[in-house]
Amino acid sequence: MKSKLPLLNVDIISESLTAKRLGKMIMLYQSTESTNDIAWKYAKSDNYDGTVVFAEQQTEGRGRRDNKWLSEKSHSILCSFLLRRCNIEADMLTLATGVAVAEVVEKFISSGAKIKWPNDVMAGGKKIAGVLVEAKDSDVVIGIGLNCHQQVVDFDESIKDIATSIDIEAGSVCDRNEVARSLIVALENWLDIAGKEKDAVIDKWKQESFLLHKRVSVESDNEIYTGTCIGIDPNEGLILQLERGGVKMFHAAQATIADSV
């Protein structure tokens, strides 16, 4: 039996928070449809740039490509960051966020983390976190779902074999307030780097990549392309050296990883 899990607490998260732009305003919902939707409601005012919205539970959590994001109450970090007038393109934001989340996971799991293009963070070969970047004009909401306290039995049957959590990988119970604070700090740092030095983000992404040099099958426009992942381009996406010959790039918005070995 799991003992009562500690709740998120804004005072604890803000305590000694070193981030300057992100987390000036932190909101915490016990239950909401989607933290991304809450963040969008604040996009009308400049005062809310950098706002972070956390929720203990989401009733309509969403992932990429109309997938649902499922999580039991108080088991995850479910959060969204609002960036007003952001001049970094969405694909670069996804990469930088993946790098930041992987860095945080690595702080809590000694076996490390990998980034599976475009938006999954992996630990122990399974998905531990997902990133959903939504952009309207120059406003952006970055949503992150990071599994913390789940045990295998807590995952929906459909994802049991492919999902993991910090507690599973670490073999101990993590402090979600500490995870939340680390996430704000890491994301601010990597967004800052992405704004100035895109290559530094790409280099880090390559070091942490789950797919680089692997044989990958990508589904795009109802076709399966198989080849070796040879890199990532901030504008063009995943680069595959195709087995049928030639090199092809895949935009995150139009492609799904069908398989990787």
Q: Which residues contribute to the site for ligand BTN (CB under 6 A)?
A: 34-36, 58, 61-64, 67, 69, 78-80, 119-120, 130-132, 143-145
| Closer by beta carbon to ligand BTN, 37 or else 200 | 37
| Closer by beta carbon to ligand BTN, 185 or else 257 | 257
DSSP per position, 208-259: HBSSTTSEEEEEETTEEEEEEEEEEETTTEEEEEETTSSEEEE-GGGEEEEE
The distance of closest approach from Cβ of residue 241 to ligand BTN in the complex, given in angstroms and rounded to an integer, is 26
Residue where the block lists tokens 């670069």: 92
The distance of closest approach from Cβ of residue 35 to ligand BTN in the complex, given in angstroms and rounded to an integer, is 4
Give the helix/strand (H/E) hosting 169: helix 166-170
The distance of closest approach from Cβ of residue 196 to ligand BTN in the complex, given in angstroms and rounded to an integer, is 26
| Closer by beta carbon to ligand BTN, 155 or else 227 | 155
Give the number of C-alpha atoms closer than 13 A to the C-alpha of residue 119, restricted to the C-beta side: 23
Rg of the chain on CA atoms, in Å: 18
The distance of closest approach from Cβ of residue 181 to ligand BTN in the complex, given in angstroms and rounded to an integer, is 17
Question: Is-contact 169 111, C-beta < 8 A?
Answer: yes
| Closer by beta carbon to ligand BTN, 14 or else 35 | 35
First to last CA, the chain: 36
The distance of closest approach from Cβ of residue 144 to ligand BTN in the complex, given in angstroms and rounded to an integer, is 6
| Closer by beta carbon to ligand BTN, 117 or else 190 | 117
